Structure 1
């Protein structure tokens, strides 16, 4: 059974209100007598991103990004989600330690929302920090669905630790539009070990935005000299990793994926893989009109940027290329010894090529493609290590559902204290992460690039009974 058949079959059974998980039946939530705390509607939307460009897509409550959801850590919250589109869908609460039923992943047993139906999610938000919400539907070969749409929004969980003093908060979500298939870049593919050369497809884009507009469209971000601004940045693209800079300024990185970093550090550029978040403080001490945008000219040319305008300043926004630098997670981490794990799982990622006549490449973990995988078995309360071995020429942002993990090794460099839910594994790189099995229930691991996830790049963790 392929992933499409699996999800259709699973979605049908879930829509009929019964989910089989861990040997017991779970009833899908019945209509509630009381109003939900929050409501979201998945619905068609036409977005004017500027420069005469309109995007027809799917969004939450008709806006992009979706409504800012600001919840309190530990306070139970209900959210009703109504599906006003022609396809089944569901919402994933990325970075929260939810139960499997409410996490929003069919592969874990979460129900799909049928056409015209409303589903109530029950969340007890934890941990605090910058999380986000988005569709977890599949797209396969249809680039009008899933993460290619405008279904994403910020989910901020208030609670300790406090991000510290700042004068203003600005949330910026990056997204790419106009997806289309292009041939794989053969020069990148030849870097992979023992990988067949195929004619698979990748995804290119026509436009990019920060929040709802392309660079130069919409209102600038207005600041005052001397202000300390907390930028929350989210890469909500379906497949594109990004590198950003703000000429004349530095970013003091204080959190990654919503979690405070052990070693807050100032950097000139930020790298965000798909699904990653960075919280950074910027001291506004360089008056002028600037571009906060991609370090790649071709990305800025399609819109990936936003204007930062100081009070009393005017003129054309200025861009200056930053000094070349490599993004390094270890700069923000500690290097204290970490406990030994109960068990280590080595997961090797490979591109198996275009199989069975498909134009798309199949991705495998230890030689298996979803759903034909061997689950990772864990025991409640134990510490486990996953060693991610990227045997391909692509970058892979690996996301673990319902848990956070500690990055403990990048190649031969040991580190500690860097807590994330998504880590970008570079081509031919090895990264180790540790997690505590403290949230029983099925938990998905996958590459967050939509095309990779759709074509096999998923694994499941199951707790021992």
Structure 2
């Protein structure tokens, strides 16, 4: 019975993907299409990534590069978008962190039409809110660890703020990614991907161009974890990060730290004072992962020699560092929605089924099971993780505020669109239902999402 339920969940997601793809080219009438030039143009096509001379990875990419091009947009200024799909599978582009209508947000579960192989689509969107966002595929991978977020379809998006949150001299954009995974089962029977190549901006340590800096510069580093499944810890030898924004939203309490933790889909924006001349490594703190390639050289002008790595002594990171304590939210009390996460093992040789409140997607998103939101009301999501895995939970089309962490103390002022809920822990977040339409809530681990770890919130 459980195996049948998992198969049904996967089949329903695949069916939804295929059934909507024919409408992808009809988002803008042909007359308007012919009369306008797109502000944003994306071409999805096969690409071979050279992570190093010995590591060539066949994948898909946007505009023939990994990561995809950086798009800079002005908040509130309408953008014409054109997407061409030259791959052999239906595709869709999710604009992660933006407040968009479901029809163009980029999730088939919300009703965004898929773009059929060989087809194209055009539409207009108005980017909001300001901050460091990103765009990526939102398709089904299953057991194919070259598809969906396991591949190269991810890119940077910066919605320009009206005022800079802090003074800096220039910006650097970095994407962390894991490649060439294979499913391995543990003693408990659960399957999880393990990777043998990791990159920053598509290159393994020692094979990409270094980040060239000058002494005295203040460099804003926008770092994205585009990994399909893995949390990463990042450090820059000889330097510290002043964190000013998480997931593109300014933090209440900027902090200077020696390490950053990024769960899948999280972003960190931090200023680095270039005050220690030399040749250094920015990379994964855990040695066995850095050994697979996750690092990049930072080189000062007029400095030479071998890049230096200094191993941090301990991993220290908490959302609490960037929030205020014990503040109240103005206005009416939030309505509480309890969401319990667990998995059901299907037997050896089968994949586990991920569930929210005892049901996988799409069973948990029927009218009798899906949360019903009312526009303008505030909701508190009580996220109870009863599984043995950590889960980066993402809410589409909204921003939430983290209100309570694992230790039980209330916090306020930290706004995000992804929150890592650790194994066996509970996290509480609040948001205002201010963007009507079907809204997807899911774990951002690709394999978990494919196995049912999603739910669609409906608006009344």
Normalised by the length of structure 2, the TM-score is 0.93
Give the secondary structure class of the aligned counterpart of 1:107: helix
Q: Hey, what does 2:260 align to over in structure 1?
A: 270
Give the secondary structure class of the aligned counterpart of 2:171: strand
Q: Hey, what does 1:372 align to over in structure 2?
A: 363
1:398 aligns with 2:404: no
**Contact 2:170-2:218 within 8 A present in 1 as well:** yes
* Cα displacement (A) at 1:307: 0.5
* Cα displacement (A) at 1:103: 0.3
Give the secondary structure class of the aligned counterpart of 2:363: coil
Greater shift in the superposed pair: 440-449 or 313-322? 313-322
**Contact 2:259-2:316 within 8 A present in 1 as well:** no
Query: 1:60-209 counterparts in 2 under 5 A?
Result: 60-184=62-186, 186=187, 197=188, 199-209=189-199
**Contact 1:200-1:354 within 8 A present in 2 as well:** no
Query: 1:378-417 counterparts in 2 under 5 A?
Result: 378-411=373-406, 412-417=408-413
**Contact 1:341-1:385 within 8 A present in 2 as well:** no
Q: Structure 1 residue aligned with 2:40, among 10, 16, 38?
A: 38
Paired residues, number: 443
* Cα displacement (A) at 1:361: 1.1
* Cα displacement (A) at 1:79: 1.0
C-alpha separation between the residues in 1 aligned to 2:54 and 2:349? 36
Query: 1:227-376 counterparts in 2 under 5 A?
Result: 227-335=217-325, 336-339=327-330, 341-354=333-346, 359-373=350-364, 374-376=369-371
Q: Structure 1 residue aligned with 2:424, among 402, 423, 428?
A: 428
**Cα deviation 1:207-240 (Å, max 9, x = unaligned):** 1110021001121111111110000000001011
* Cα displacement (A) at 1:442: 0.3
**Cα deviation 1:390-413 (Å, max 9, x = unaligned):** 111111000000000000100211
C-alpha separation between the residues in 1 aligned to 2:232 and 2:22? 41
Greater shift in the superposed pair: 109-118 or 175-184? 175-184
**Cα deviation 1:237-281 (Å, max 9, x = unaligned):** 101110011121110000000000000000010000000000000
**Contact 1:209-1:303 within 8 A present in 2 as well:** yes
C-alpha separation between the residues in 2 aligned to 1:450 and 1:462? 23
Q: Hey, what does 1:11 align to over in structure 2?
A: 17
Give the secondary structure class of the aligned counterpart of 1:240: coil
C-alpha separation between the residues in 1 aligned to 2:233 and 2:395? 23
Q: Hey, what does 1:446 align to over in structure 2?
A: 442
C-alpha separation between the residues in 2 aligned to 1:398 and 1:153? 20
**Contact 2:232-2:263 within 8 A present in 1 as well:** yes
* Cα displacement (A) at 1:353: 1.2
**Cα deviation 1:431-460 (Å, max 9, x = unaligned):** 000000000000000000000000010011
Normalised by the length of structure 1, the TM-score is 0.93
**Contact 2:10-2:452 within 8 A present in 1 as well:** no
Give the secondary structure class of the aligned counterpart of 1:5: helix
**Contact 1:200-1:361 within 8 A present in 2 as well:** yes
* Cα displacement (A) at 1:358: 5.9
RMSD: 1.5
**Cα deviation 1:405-438 (Å, max 9, x = unaligned):** 0001002111111000000111111100000000
**Contact 1:209-1:305 within 8 A present in 2 as well:** yes
C-alpha separation between the residues in 2 aligned to 1:110 and 1:431? 30
Greater shift in the superposed pair: 358-367 or 297-306? 358-367
C-alpha separation between the residues in 2 aligned to 1:53 and 1:136? 26
C-alpha separation between the residues in 2 aligned to 1:367 and 1:282? 45
**Unaligned 5+ runs, structure 2:** 1-6
**Contact 1:170-1:230 within 8 A present in 2 as well:** yes
C-alpha separation between the residues in 2 aligned to 1:365 and 1:174? 28
Alpha-carbon spacing, 1:329–1:161, altered in 2? closer, same or farther (3 Å): farther
**Contact 1:222-1:308 within 8 A present in 2 as well:** yes
Give the secondary structure class of the aligned counterpart of 2:402: strand
* Cα displacement (A) at 1:177: 1.0
**Unaligned 5+ runs, structure 1:** 19-26, 187-196
**Contact 1:14-1:28 within 8 A present in 2 as well:** no
Give the secondary structure class of the aligned counterpart of 2:69: coil
C-alpha separation between the residues in 1 aligned to 2:132 and 2:123? 19
C-alpha separation between the residues in 2 aligned to 1:121 and 1:258? 24
Give the secondary structure class of the aligned counterpart of 1:451: helix
**Contact 2:22-2:114 within 8 A present in 1 as well:** no
* Cα displacement (A) at 1:48: 1.0
**Contact 1:59-1:151 within 8 A present in 2 as well:** yes
